Amino acid sequence: MVSAPAWIGELARYAFLAVLVSWIIVPLAISIVYAFTPLDVYYSDAILTTSFTLDHVKTLWVLGAGEAFLRSVAVGAMTVGISFLLGLPGGYALARYVFPGRDAVKLAIIATRMFPIIVISVSLLKTFFNLGLNDTLIGLALAHTAMALPFVVIITGSIFGGIPRDLEEAGMIFGLSSIMVFLRITLPLAAPGLTAAGMFTFLLSWNEVFMASVLTLVNRTLPAFILNSAFATPIEPIRFAAAFMLILPALVFMFLARRYLVTMWAMAAR
């Protein structure tokens, strides 16, 4: 028989979870519903609607949201590629090699995220103007890489650290070189966690808006386009449609990566 204090505790826990889920789900549901609500219904006294339209999304697409969407995908993909190209060796070195000051190096890597993004953006803007990288996708991808690289190094280091060293030593006993051990043993075992880390890096680039607004003028990504164009319109359903376009890829990625995210955090916590 469940005692009264235990029953009250269970009720409080479920009530807290219900409030937390509602805090997340309700705004998402409102944005999705109003993004497809006709103007006459939205500005009427009706609370719920049974008619929907794609006009708001089409309007955004005509205004340039489609090109901005593709630019966001391109910048995110380049950010993931560059971050992993530079971050994987660093993460593996932190996981496998013991050297004086290793913890200090980890702390220094994390400390780079303490710098305000506005300071970094202004400095990068001057540098990019001198190099001819201003208002370019590769320039924005490099800026996002500077922001994402510390996370990639620390996360991949934790993932590689969760793989038993004995497996790599066994591969070397059977004649594999260090590179082949990494490619044939370590990398496949770390693949689920690295997949989640890659998706995390992509979403970090996808959601970034300040650098995209400062470093670009014409070739803006979707968040910068929405901030400077879509949210300036007085038509509120178009704003909801812009929010829907922005959060939809993130929701899809999180749904697809949920299993890999659990694996990543489990490996990182070892």
CA max distance for the chain: 75
Task: Name the most confidently modeled range: 84-98, 167-181, 223-237.
Answer: 84-98
- The amino acid at residue 175 is G
- The amino acid at residue 124 is L
**What SS3 state is found at 231?**
helix
Q: Given this model, what pLDDT does residue 267 score?
A: 55
Fold held by 55-268: MetI-like fold (1.10.3720)
Residues 152, 84: contact at Cβ < 8 Å? Answer: yes
% of the chain exceeding 90 in pLDDT: 9
Q: Taking the domains of the chain in order of start, what are their residue ranges? A: 55-268
Q: Buried b vs exposed e over 167-197: b needs ≥16 C-beta within 10 Å?
A: ebeebeeeebeeeebbeebbeebbebbbbbb
Task: Taking each helix axis as running N to C, give the angle between helix 102-111 and helix 137-161, from 0 to 180 degrees, rounded to the nearest 10.
Answer: 140
Q: Given this model, what pLDDT does residue 71 score?
A: 92
Residues 245, 57: contact at Cβ < 8 Å? Answer: yes
Token couple for 211? 């650098």
Radius of gyration of the chain (CA): 23
What's the whole-number mean pLDDT along residues 194-219? 86
Q: What is the DSSP string of 73-135?
A: HHHHHHHHHHHHHHHHHHHHHHHH---TTHHHHHHHHHHGGGS-HHHHHHHHHHHHHHHT-TT
Res. 81 pLDDT band, cuts 50 70 90: very high
Res. 243 pLDDT band, cuts 50 70 90: confident
pLDDT at 83 over 90: yes
* Spatial CA neighbour of 268 closest among 216, 196, 209: 196
Q: Given this model, what pLDDT does residue 4 score?
A: 53
What's the whole-number mean pLDDT along residues 207-235? 82
144-182 pLDDT per residue, tens? 998 899 889 988 888 888 888 888 888 888 888 888 888
Instruction: Report pTM.
Output: 0.80
Token couple for 187? 């990398």
Task: Taking each helix axis as running N to C, give the angle between helix 66-96 and helix 102-111, from 0 to 180 degrees, rounded to the nearest 10.
Answer: 160
What's the whole-number mean pLDDT along residues 250-264? 70
Distance CA(211)–CA(208), nearest Å, equals: 7
Res. 1 pLDDT band, cuts 50 70 90: very low
Token couple for 180? 């082949």
Angle formed at CA 20 by CA 18 and CA 24, multiple of 5 degrees = 110
Q: What is the pLDDT of the chain when averaged over all its residues?
A: 82
